[in-house]
Every structure is written in structure tokens, then in C-alpha cells.
Structure 1
Amino acid sequence: MLLVTTLLLASMLGTTIYKHRWPKGDQGREERKQYHWEHYPRLRGFFNGVRTLVPFSDYVPEQTFAKSAETGGPEDWMKQKYPAIGKENKDPPMDPIPFNPYPDFTTQEYLKKYEKVETCYLDEDETVELPDIYAYPGIPQNQTAPFFGSLEELGMNDKVCFERFGRFGPYGYSYPREEGGLGMSGKSESAGSEKIWSWEKKIDYREVDWSSAQKRCYEKNKVRFAKNETVAKTADGEEAKLVKKKLPRHAYILRTWTGYKYSDYQILTIRAMINELSLKSGGEYDVHFLLHVKDDSIPIWSSEEIYRKTIEDNLPKEFWGMATLWSEQQMRMYYPEPFPNNVYNHAKAPIHSVYRSAHFALQWFSQVHPEYDFYWNWEMDLRFSGHYYEFNNRIGEWAKKQPRKGLWERSSRYYIPELHGSWHNFTEMVEEELYTSDEKPVWGPPKFENTGMLPPLDETTPPTTYLDDRYQWGVGEEADLLTFNPIFDPAKTNWVFRDDVTGYDLELPEPPRRCAIITVSRLSKRLLDIMHRETYLMKHHMFPEMWPPTVAFHHGLKAVYVPHAVYFDHNWPLEIIDGTFNRPPKPTDSVFGWGEHNQLGNSFYYNAGFSSEWWRRWLGSRENDQGGPEEEEAGTGRLCIRSTLFHPVKFEKGSE
């Protein structure tokens, strides 16, 4: 009886506590303790619509406007300079224009350097021309500015913005399925959106075969991707051989899996990738699906029919010819056990599991498809508001210009233009910090104790000492690795997977390592070849986000963090955000570890919470009881934002 009474009392007490803390399920749950950054003012300029558009020369970022209002700054800063929103005419104050980031392929200057670009089409009869996308030549007044990165520094157009009709309308967003579109804009605020059809023709996408279109485009233009000699006449009338420049080719790889569901929004995004990267560039890119077959019992390698059916069951029809299948069982055969001497397997997963070895399939793909110079490792929950070719091309060109001196150190930090000033100032600041610290600069392959390493490449040996170099080594050299978060030293953090290191001598200290969170990256064929050899020959292995940067580090390759625009939903003081992200006082404070809660309110990280909210608001959906068709209609209209990379976006919805 005593035992039963005790249990009853304990049960009643527990129930009372539960009801007291969460009387209505999650709705009544006690407020958690807020993070320090949540006490900063919320920024709302992200959601200013197309009716507030102003020329870039009149644009004042929200942070500047807020600061001037607090401090009594110049009157012209404080005024919201955009036309009054009328009740009758709710059209944007300017018209959209075609957005074309490609070089003029027809100029004499271009044709002196490169082979002629043959125009590509969507159909075999070459009657369906490739669509353009449209941007507004302005910015919504007081739209929030990014804290990290700079479009201007990367050579991208920061004076225009994209809204959903101009960005996705030409890919079928805004016209009905009976006309070959997707009919997704029924309830959307759309004032002025019809103007794009004065230039653009609606395309019937029901019969488009993107794989065939890509292959035809490459065949027409393949002379551009090999060294070709053309004959010209010299001043004396004699024939002279002119060698035109070879353009690199890119494999743009979408990492997907069986069972993945493709929404109409995702289909729009993929159509944009193929059109903008591959077809309109004259075949510089090929878009691929690297499709993970999660069920090892499916005999995809034994039957062409099963291989084809697996693709057809797991991809929309218009993309069927673009898929390559792989499985974990295949990787176990390709990179067989054993992989000895693991330091610590925090994931408690087999080494061939995709969670620990996502790079295995990418390495294998690069061996099966050696025809490419670069391989883009792209995740399915990435989204981009701007033009793909502008982004991919400009960041590659920018990285090519970067000198190697101080490069690893610059790439370990976030660039904050408003605080750091120009990129030149940032470069000098990082150099000064390095000079006054105890750190040795990275200069060529690092030397460390080991009992088995592949020899470094001759071409990665520095031509001079670090001090003698005048920021010349590496200029004009293509980057072997591009990342979209800083490349940091995990040993200086408490990042959870920092010790998932395999195949090195456990009697010696762990090898020096580098890491970039999120596996999204561009990798050179040279880097992937070395990763492949390190895996099958040396049995070396690390967690996927650590492996490519570490191999590049060990072998003296050129690795670059791209300072793309990253936004925050709270108005951080600049010194605080710099101290938090670039100078954490101790390892446990690192934003790549226990301090990663600092990333929740931004537009790009593996667990960023703000990214999906902002993206879906841009698509017209109502989020957290704000936005949506009625609010856009009654207010400043649909969102228009500059070129921004979003991650993660786990699901999408629009104005429905």
C-alpha cells in the first residue's frame, strides 16, 4: 500500500508539473532563455516590396537608416525616398529588364581569344529559343544590407533585384499547365508582372528533354573546350597559327536520393540551373543528378532495365537522362575495407555511410567522368535568387585573382565590409593580425610528423619565401577548392566531428586539418584525383566537411572561401558580430561548435533558421503570421531581393 501510494503521489506531482509548464502542449511551454543576439533589434527591411523600388543611387540600407534615425543623421538619409503607394495604381515605379550576365560572344575582342559560340535551343528542330530572366533596375528602399560578404567585391551586379515573376516566370511559374507552364501564381500579388511578356515568349515545357538539349548544345560547341588552331594571315601575307584559349568545363552535380520529392518550386530552380549554366553559356556546364540508391538490395548494376526504372521512379521525366546512380554497397567495393586507426567516430556510423563519406560518390564520379575541369557539389536544399551563371562565373573569376599570400588566413574569417572596409584593407588587416600573433602563415604544403603521405606536387612548392612574395604567387591560378563558409582549423574549436580522422598513425599527433561547414563547394579535377588516391592508396579518411579542405591543405593546393552576401535578421553591432564570428575568446565559443546558435538568424548555414523564412516570403507565402498575398496586396507588394544564396530550404510554398 505504501508503495502504491508513493507511486500515485509521484504520478500526480509529475502531471501537475507538466501541466504547469506546458498547459496547452507546445503553445504554453515556458519561454526559453534568449540568446544574446536575440536582444538586438529585429530587421524588417527584407520584406520591403517592389512598390518601394528606388534607383541604387537613392538606396539607403535599413541599418544606415536606423542608425541615422537614432543619432539624428542627415535628413536625406532619414527620408524613405520612394513614391507614395497609390490605391489605384499599384504597379512598381519602374519596369523589369532582361538580365544578361554573359560576355558578348559576338564581339571581335571575344572571338580573338575564344572560339565562336553556337546558339543552343530547347528543341531538336531549333525553333524554341532559350528564355531570359528579368530583374528590376533598383532596390527596395531601406532593404536590409548583408553583414558578411559583398556582391560588388565579387564582380556581381548589386544594383538590381529579382522578384518571383521575372526570376521564375519564364520557366513556367506564371502561366497555366494547359500552355506548358506550372500555373503557380494564381493568388499572388502580381501588379506589373505581365510586362515581361512583351519581350518573352511562353515555352511549353511538357515536351522538353533537358538531357538532350544539354548534349546537343555541347556537341555544337565542343571546339571551345579543346585547344584548336586557326589559321590567319600575317602582315606579310604568310599564314600564322593562332591558338585560341581553352575554356574549362564544369560538372554541376545535384546530390539527390531515392524517395526525394520534387516540388514544382524545385523544378523551376533546376530548369533555371540548366538553362542559365549550360545552354545559354554554350555548354560550359553540364548539370547532373548524382542519385543515391538507398536500398542496397536493388540490383542496379545487374540490369539496364532496373537501372532505368530506378531513375524513372525517382526523377521528374524532363530530367531522366541526366542521372547517375550510386549506392553505399558500390562504395564499399570501390573503396574496400579496412580503414584502420580511427581517432573518434562521433557519428557511430560505418565509414561507408553517406553521412560520414558523402565525398566517396563524388570522387568516384570524377573518375568516371574525367572530362570536366571542375565539379560543383550542390545540395538539394540550396536556393539562389539571382542568375546562376553570374554567380558561378564571377566567384570563379574572383578566386582566380586571389594571391596565395595570406589566403588561408583570409579564408578563415568572415569579411564584414562595413567594418573592414575594402578587400584591400581586409587583406592588410589579416596580414597585420598574423604578424602580431604566434601563428605561422600557411605557405605551401605544411610539414608535420607522419608515417605515410603522398608526396606533394612540384607545382605547389612556393617560388619564394613568404616575406619576399609581393602578393604575386597564385594570381591567375584557378582555385582547387571554393567554399561558402570560412575554412577554419577544427582543432581550435569544439566542432563535434573534429576527430573523425582515419588512417593516420595513432602514435603520432593528429595531422593538421581544415574544415568548411556544409559540403557545398567547387572542387578541381586535380583535388578530386588526390582525394581519390589518398582514399584507395593511403586509406586516409575524414568527415566529409573536413576532407576536401584538409587534402587541399596537405598538398598545398589553392583553397578559397567565397565572401558571398550573408544576411542576419537582427541588427548586430559590428564589433560584436566580428568578435563573435572571427575572434571567439575560447574554443567553446566558436560559431563552428557550441556557439553555432549565433548562426540561427542568418541566411546561410547548415541550421540557419532565417533562410527558409525569407525565401518562402519571397515566393509569396505567409510565415509566422506575416506576409502572404493579402498583406502584399495591401502593402508594398511582392518581395524583390538581390542575388542571395539560401541554405537550408527544406520545403517551399507560395501564395496558395
Structure 2
Amino acid sequence: MSLGPRVPCYGPRGQLLSNSSDDVLTSAHLSQKYPVPFAGSHEELGLEKSWMSPDGRYGPYGFGEEDKSYSRTVVDWDTVDWGLLQNDCFALNAHRFTSEAAKFLNNPVRFAWKSAGKVPEDHQWTDFSGSRRTAIILRAYDGYDYKKRDMQHIRSLIVEASLRTGGEYVVVLLVHIRSEEFNPWNSPEEYARAFEHAKIPKELQSIAVLWNEPLLESWYPETLEHRTFWQAFQPLQLFSHYYPEFDHYWQFEMDMRFTGDAGAYLDAVDLWSRKEPRKQAMERSTFFYDPTVFNTTDEFRAAVDEVNRGRSHVWGPVRVREVSPIGPRPPTTDEEDNFEWGVGEDADVIVTSLCADARKSTTWIFRGWVYGFRAGKQGPPRYFCPPAIQRGSRALLHAIHTLQRRGLRIASEATLPSFALWLGLKISAPPLPWYLNDVPDDEERARWMLGGPKASDDGFGKGDPQWGQPDMINSPQMSSTFWWAGGWPGELFEGWLQGKKTQDGKPMYPLKESEGQLYMPNLMLHPVKRE
């Protein structure tokens, strides 16, 4: 059901975004051919093939404002209150949402020790109806050095994903208090001390929420492990428990960037995942979408279906003794389903990169990290999909919250997709476009694709998301614009912003040059390390 027309909201310059030319992103029309992604597809995902210069992309958010040539109104960013702007935008659009929707407020503080009894220990997924809103959770920590690139990125995310969508998204800064000096949950005064210690920029303070590991320990004592390295989603689970007014929760890292309109990108991902059928969704997530082989995702789906002989390894919940499913029952058998079940249904988990069977991986360092299950030496069926930049539904996160309180735990990158499978919920892996650091030859492409669906002997892909580990034989050598690790995305991003070229005087791939300006295609980059 459509939410209805988006009502224009006010931006950081005090004007309606629909009437403010200073707040508009500028995409150039270049004569050069748009580069074909190494994997994924702009067309199939529904993304605009935009070309943006650094000024066209980040000019509205302060990029270049110190230069005399800056043509926009200069904003005093310390006077901007992003929480107020997001809530004012929601107020203008409140009629578009259900009664479950509400303004986001970080005061009064909601997080508390479990023993405080401020909220029920568990929520049932049936306790809430849809609000049609999504929280974008940006993960930061105390003492984080917010550089100008970070601030421009965060501002762009708030304006494009929240304000330009009429409040369909809310951006929240979830700040890890690592110092043991503070106990924020003991008193409002102690929370205020920890908040000051975190050194959060003034413009972001109204969207910031603090957490620490002792808080997680009070809620999940049976898991025994609460460090982000192993349990990156525990803070997100707890956030959904205390802030249940959202249907979905994106977990974003500070070292990612959108080089086009972030809101349009997230809208495209959401729409694509809603259209994806449940049948063979897990199988498809283990293959890259190769645009040199497939013209459409329908062709790709047919190829995966062929090697699976019309069957689906996952049909309804994957049975695990410790987990009671909450998802719907399949309406028919997998053989009889013509890729109809799940179409029009929100995905409970959206992953952003390749998935693989944790039990078969030879390189994933967490492959044996599974506790609380009675499933033999290998543990229950589970899939990992690094990085932990994923979207989880309220139903999924609330269910994981309850199951982790009972001591069930697996590593971060496997948490959302695996629990979704056991609970009978929907998973989606959209064809996000990304590039290598050069046009690959056939040998390098083969190293990544490993024959695609045609080479599969069990219906799943042969790739391993941990490529780059030293023990991988014939592993790919070229860097990608979106991966769980690597320095290339940061080099590309900074090269674009600074106008750097290669030693032979050419733009770094896939940038293009026109009239002395460098232009970037529409991408999600990760990891972009600090400048």
C-alpha cells in the first residue's frame, strides 16, 4: 500500500527542500558510456545512472564552503538541530503513517538496566502493527574524531533519506561508551557525564543514543560475549526493543558512503527486496549477479532455478530445535510455487554482499563460533554475509533478542540471515552494483564468479565472502568498491574529492573526467577509511 505523496520538509538552510536550489544534488550528463558494474546492476535495482562531481554530491552539506567559489548559502552547522528537523518533517507527514509511528526523541533516556523493569523483558512480534518507518542506525563510539568528510556524509544521509522522503527514515547515532569510568544507567547525571565524554558534535546531539557493554551484559548474560567483534547486532537488538516504533532497522558503519542520492538508493533497495520471491532467495544470495552473463535478474533467477531443478533448499523455516518459527507457512510446495510466495512482502533481512554456508567455509574465522545449540559438531545450518551492514525487521530483531537471552549465539555476520532462516522469515540480497579497481580480464573475472550458477553442483555458489585471506588458493587479487575489508574504496573516494589521478594521468576507475572535473557513478562504498 502506498504511503501517499511526500510532503516537502525544511532543510538546514531554513527553506523547504523543494524550493531551495542550494540544497539540490547535481548530476551531470556525460557523453562517456556508463561503466558496466563488475557485479550487480543499476537498471535491475532501479538506480539512476548518475554522475556526480564532489561539489554536486556534497556541496549542499558543506564541501568546499571554505572556498571563495562556493556558490551556496553557507550554513552555521552548529546551529542546526537534526533531531528537530527530522521530527518537524515527521509532523508534516504524520498523516501518511499509521498510529504506531512517533517522533524520535533521545530524551528522556530509554535504555536502562534489565533489572530496572522499564520495558517488558520480551516483545512478541504480534504486539505491533506496521508504522511504515525505518531507523538508520549509524554506529559510532566515544571520542570518535568526526572529520569534515564524516559530517558531510551524515548530513547527506539525514537530508536525503529522512527529510526528502517525508520522514520514512530516521537517522540515529548509536554511540558506544567504551570507557569504564562511566555508568550511564545509574542516574541522569551519570548519563550526561558520559554524553559529554563522547564528544558528539553539537548538530548531532539530538539524534545520539548511548550504550555500553555492561548494558548488553545485563540483558544478555547467557551469551557470555558482548564485544562488537563477535556480537555487532546486540546493540541494534536492544535499540529495537526500546524503540519498537520502527518496522525496520538499518545498521550502517561510519566508514561507508553513498556517492549518489542516499534516499533514492535505499528506496530502490527496499522496493527490490519487497518484489523478490522467497523461493531460492538463499541460493541466489550465494552468487554474484554477473551483468556480462545476465541481461535481467529474471534470467539470473532462472539460471539458479535450473541448477536447483525447481526446488528450494529453504522452504518455510529451517528447523532448529531451539527456535520456534514465527513466519508464515508456505502456501504450497516449492516445486509448485512459480516464484510467487513472498512477492510484495517486506524482507526481514536485507544483506549487502555475498553469503555462504558457514559450515563449508575454510576461511571464515568464526565458522566454529556457535553456542547454545544441540546440533552436533558443525552446529545448525547457518549462513554468513559480511559485512554487518544489513537491515533487520522489528519481528526478526525482537525474536533474536528473546533467543539470545536464552544463550543462543553465533557470530555477527551470520546473525540476521541465520536467525531469519530458522524463524521462517524472508531474506533478500539485492543486486547492488559495484566495481573492481580496473576492468578485469577473463581470468580475474573467473576467480570471482567461479563459473556462476552453471558450475554449481548443489544449487549454491562456490564463492567465499572471506576472499583475500592468505590461505585462499587462486583468490581474486583486485580490490572492489564494496567489501568487508580493503583500502581501495577509501583511495577512490579521496581521489575523487581531491581530483587525484593515476600515474599515467588518467582518472581512477570507474571515475570519469569532463572539463577538468572528476565524476563518480552511483555507488555505495565500503570501507572508506579516514582521510
Q: Which of 289, 292, 315 does residue 200 from structure 2 map onto?
A: 315
Equivalent residues of 1:599, 1:608 under 8 A apart:
no
The Cα shift of 1:127 comes to: 7.8
The Cα shift of 1:117 comes to: 4.2
Describe the SS at the equivalent of 1:357: coil
Q: Which residue in 1 is equivalent to 2:303?
A: 429
Equivalent residues of 1:535, 1:541 under 8 A apart:
yes
Equivalent residues of 1:621, 1:628 under 8 A apart:
no
CA distance in 2, matches of 1:635, 1:580: 31
Equivalent residues of 2:28, 2:52 under 8 A apart:
no
CA distance in 2, matches of 1:569, 1:474: 36
Q: Which amino acid aligns with 1:513?
A: R
- How many residues are matched? 485
Gaps of 5+ in 2: 101-128
Q: Which residue in 2 is equivalent to 1:212?
A: 84
Q: Which residue in 2 is equivalent to 1:493?
A: 361
Equivalent residues of 1:162, 1:641 under 8 A apart:
yes
Q: Which residue in 1 is equivalent to 2:109?
A: none
Equivalent residues of 1:486, 1:516 under 8 A apart:
yes
Q: State how 1:374-385 maps to structure 2 within 5 Å.
A: 374-385=248-259
The Cα shift of 1:643 comes to: 0.9
CA distance in 2, matches of 1:260, 1:403: 41
Equivalent residues of 1:366, 1:528 under 8 A apart:
yes
Q: Does 1:639 align with 2:518?
A: yes
Q: Does 1:173 align with 2:63?
A: yes
Describe the SS at the equivalent of 1:565: coil
CA distance in 2, matches of 1:575, 1:590: 17
Describe the SS at the equivalent of 1:435: coil
Q: Which residue in 2 is equivalent to 1:614?
A: 492
The worse-fitting range, judged by mean Cα deviation, of 379-388 and 502-511 is: 502-511
Q: Does 1:354 align with 2:245?
A: no
Q: 1:143 to 1:218 in 2, by over 3 A?
A: closer
Residue by residue over 1:237-276, the C-alpha shift from the partner in whole angstroms, topping out at 9 and shown as x without a partner, is: xxxxxxxx97610111000111211111111111111111
Equivalent residues of 1:591, 1:598 under 8 A apart:
no
Q: Which amino acid aligns with 2:44?
A: E
Q: Which of 165, 175, 179 does residue 295 from structure 1 map onto?
A: 179
Q: Which of 392, 396, 402 does residue 276 from structure 2 map onto?
A: 402
Describe the SS at the equivalent of 2:517: coil
CA distance in 2, matches of 1:117, 1:483: 27
CA distance in 2, matches of 1:145, 1:254: 30
Q: Does 1:389 align with 2:263?
A: yes
The Cα shift of 1:623 comes to: 7.0
CA distance in 1, matches of 2:91, 2:13: 13
Q: 1:490 to 1:508 in 2, by over 3 A?
A: closer
Q: Does 1:327 align with 2:206?
A: no
Q: 1:581 to 1:312 in 2, by over 3 A?
A: farther
Equivalent residues of 2:286, 2:463 under 8 A apart:
no
CA distance in 2, matches of 1:287, 1:464: 39
Equivalent residues of 2:350, 2:428 under 8 A apart:
yes
Q: 1:125 to 1:202 in 2, by over 3 A?
A: closer
Gaps of 5+ in 1: 1-111, 176-182, 229-244, 340-349
Q: Which amino acid aligns with 2:240?
A: S
Q: Does 1:603 align with 2:488?
A: no
Q: 1:473 to 1:507 in 2, by over 3 A?
A: closer
Q: Does 1:161 align with 2:54?
A: no
CA distance in 1, matches of 2:96, 2:484: 37
Q: Which of 139, 147, 150 does residue 263 from structure 1 map onto?
A: 147
Q: Which amino acid aligns with 2:64?
A: S
The Cα shift of 1:649 comes to: 0.9
CA distance in 2, matches of 1:216, 1:465: 48
Equivalent residues of 1:331, 1:360 under 8 A apart:
yes
Residue by residue over 1:79-100, the C-alpha shift from the partner in whole angstroms, topping out at 9 and shown as x without a partner, is: xxxxxxxxxxxxxxxxxxxxxx
Q: Which amino acid aligns with 2:88?
A: R
Q: Does 1:504 align with 2:373?
A: yes
Q: Which amino acid aligns with 2:218?
A: M
Q: 1:214 to 1:280 in 2, by over 3 A?
A: same
Residue by residue over 1:352-404, the C-alpha shift from the partner in whole angstroms, topping out at 9 and shown as x without a partner, is: 22211111111000001000001010001101100011000111001101111
Q: Which amino acid aligns with 2:159?
A: N
Larger Rg: 1
Q: 1:635 to 1:147 in 2, by over 3 A?
A: closer
Q: Which residue in 1 is equivalent to 2:126?
A: none
Residue by residue over 1:109-167, the C-alpha shift from the partner in whole angstroms, topping out at 9 and shown as x without a partner, is: xxx95456443224798689665333334236256431101111111111x31111111
**TM-score, structure 1 as length reference:** 0.68
Residue by residue over 1:170-202, the C-alpha shift from the partner in whole angstroms, topping out at 9 and shown as x without a partner, is: 112222xxxxxxx2x57xxx8xxx7xx5xx655
Quote the sequence identity (%).
31
Q: 1:367 to 1:329 in 2, by over 3 A?
A: same
CA distance in 2, matches of 1:330, 1:147: 42
Q: Which of 525, 528, 531 does residue 649 from structure 1 map onto?
A: 528
Q: State how 1:211-250 maps to structure 2 within 5 Å.
A: 211-226=83-98, 248-250=132-134
Q: 1:392 to 1:635 in 2, by over 3 A?
A: closer
CA distance in 1, matches of 2:420, 2:401: 12
Q: CA RMSD in A?
A: 3.1
Q: Which amino acid aligns with 1:161?
A: W
Q: State how 1:429-578 maps to structure 2 within 5 Å.
A: 429-435=303-309, 441-447=313-319, 452-457=321-326, 459-494=327-362, 495-505=364-374, 507=376, 509-537=378-406, 539-574=407-442, 577-578=445-446
Q: 1:636 to 1:326 in 2, by over 3 A?
A: same
Q: Which amino acid aligns with 2:496?
A: W
Structure ranking higher in helix proportion: 1
Describe the SS at the equivalent of 1:548: helix
The Cα shift of 1:506 comes to: 6.1
CA distance in 2, matches of 1:601, 1:319: 33
Describe the SS at the equivalent of 1:419: coil
